[in-house]
């Protein structure tokens, strides 16, 4: 599978495949060349998941409250 295959994955599908790769690499049963390929795909999946999370976070807004405690609008979400 190539990067274009990864680009079409949902966050959940990419994360599930990444978890599967991590488990397989932890077992150490694959030959070296296969392990390297799996690691490289895992890295691409990780970057894909991070990008999806960043995009989702950019879409989230928080409700701001006025001095009287009533909702007064929205502001970008800040996880920090």
Q: What is the pLDDT along the chain (80 residues), one digit of tens a residue?
A: 467 799 999 999 999 999 999 999 999 999 999 999 999 999 999 999 999 998 887 777 777 777 787 777 777 776 65
Q: For residue 53, what are the CA distances in angstroms to 34, 44, 62?
A: 28, 14, 17
Strand partners, 75: 62
The answer to whether the Cα torsion of 32, 44, 9, 76 is positive or negative is: positive
The reported pTM is 0.73
Is the domain 3-76 a CATH 1.25.40 member?
no
Beta strands in the chain (DSSP E): 61-65, 71-76
Tell me how far apart the alpha carbons of residues 46 and 44 are, in angstroms, rounded to a whole number: 5
């Amino acid at each position: 599978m190539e990067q274009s295959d990864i680009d079409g994955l949902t966050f959940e599908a990419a994360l599930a495949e990444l978890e599967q790769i991590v488990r397989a690499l932890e077992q150490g049963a694959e030959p070296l060349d296969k392990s390297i390929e799996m690691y490289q795909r895992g890295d691409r999946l990780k970057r894909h998941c991070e990008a999806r999370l960043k995009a989702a976070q950019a879409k989230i807004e928080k409700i701001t409250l006025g001095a009287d405690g009533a909702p007064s609008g929205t502001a970008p979400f800040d996880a920090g």
